[in-house]
Amino acid sequence: MKFFVDTADIAEIKDLAATGLLDGVTTNPSLIKKAGRDFKEVIAEICAVTDGPVSAEVVAMDFDGMVAQGEDLAKIAKNVTIKVPLTIEGLKACRHFRNKGIMVNVTLCFSPAQALLAAKAGASFISPFVGRLDDVGSDGLTLIHDIVTIYNNYDFETEVLVASVRNPIHIVESAKMGAHVATAPASVLKALVNHPLTDRGLETFLKDWAATGQKL
Ligand code: G3P
């Protein structure tokens, strides 16, 4: 499973890239607002940190506007992935970008039917939002299971990019289902390493090592 970080904070991205575990970055208009930075400048900086796909979202609602914005964003770097919403206009734009060899992430997916349409439109990635479904009392992970099943049934090349991830369980359960990518805040990716038995074991090993009186 690939890990993308869901942020526009350069320091966080650099910190994770240094672990060697980072495969890409996703942003959205809310994350750009949070970063308080110029959109295109921050996307260029992120692309200089990682070779992996970097999602940059269009904000036009119509096909022509999405094409104009997406083509402009795609000029920033080869690894820019254009993020379009799951609407008819977004699906049309998705097909347009794919025909031009530009990667596309179709976002705001909340149903298997929507995911099927995105795959048919040639999306590189589909972004189902698990956390936001959980928030309204639906089971986000069931959506991941359904999409993976449908995509496998037809050998679609679209990668399932699990988004709106809130905790390590979302990632582990999605990995068990065979989802290709998880995008999560840096805090959730870092939480994957935590286990109290690891901490306790390390403490004992270090204490026993000190008791040997040896040095390395
Ligand atoms: O970037 C898309 C998605 O990951 C947003 O997540 O936490 O705002 O629901 P969230």
Query: Domain tally for the chain?
Result: 1
DSSP-assigned beta bridge partners for residue 57: 83
How sure is the predictor about 196, in pLDDT bands with cuts at 50, 70 and 90? very high
Q: Is the dihedral of CA 13, 126, 190, 33 positive or negative?
A: positive
- The arithmetic mean of pLDDT across residues 173-189, rounded, is 98
**CB-defined site of ligand 1, < 6 Å:** 6, 26, 28, 129, 131-132, 163-164, 183
Predicted model pTM? 0.96
- The CATH number assigned to the domain holding 107 equals 3.20.20.70
Q: What percent of the chain has pLDDT over 70?
A: 100
Determine the distance separating the centroid of ligand 1 and the alpha carbon of 163, expressed in angstroms.
6
Q: Specify the ligand 1 atom closest to the Cα of 30.
A: 8
Predicted pLDDT of residue 216: 95
149 within 8 A of 160, measured Cβ to Cβ: no
Predicted pLDDT of residue 77: 98
Predicted pLDDT of residue 167: 97
Q: How many whole angstroms separate alpha carbon 197 and alpha carbon 194?
A: 9
How sure is the predictor about 149, in pLDDT bands with cuts at 50, 70 and 90? very high
Predicted pLDDT of residue 4: 98
Q: Specify the ligand 1 atom closest to the Cα of 166.
A: 7
Residue 100 is a catalytic residue = no
Q: Which of 9, 164, 189 to mutate to test the pocket of ligand 1 (most atoms within 8 A of CB)?
A: 164
Hey, what are 119's tokens?
A: 């795959």
How sure is the predictor about 50, in pLDDT bands with cuts at 50, 70 and 90? very high
How sure is the predictor about 93, in pLDDT bands with cuts at 50, 70 and 90? very high
- The arithmetic mean of pLDDT across residues 111-137, rounded, is 98
- The arithmetic mean of pLDDT across residues 25-33, rounded, is 98
Q: Which of 28, 33, 171 to mutate to test the pocket of ligand 1 (most atoms within 8 A of CB)?
A: 28
Predicted pLDDT of residue 206: 98
Predicted pLDDT of residue 10: 98
How sure is the predictor about 146, in pLDDT bands with cuts at 50, 70 and 90? very high
What contacts 24, CB < 8 A, 6 or more positions away?
2, 4, 50, 52, 53, 54, 55, 79, 81, 181, 183
Q: Which domain holds residue 46?
A: 2-212
List 14, 40, 83, 176, catalytic entry: 83
Q: How many whole angstroms separate alpha carbon 211 and alpha carbon 104?
A: 57
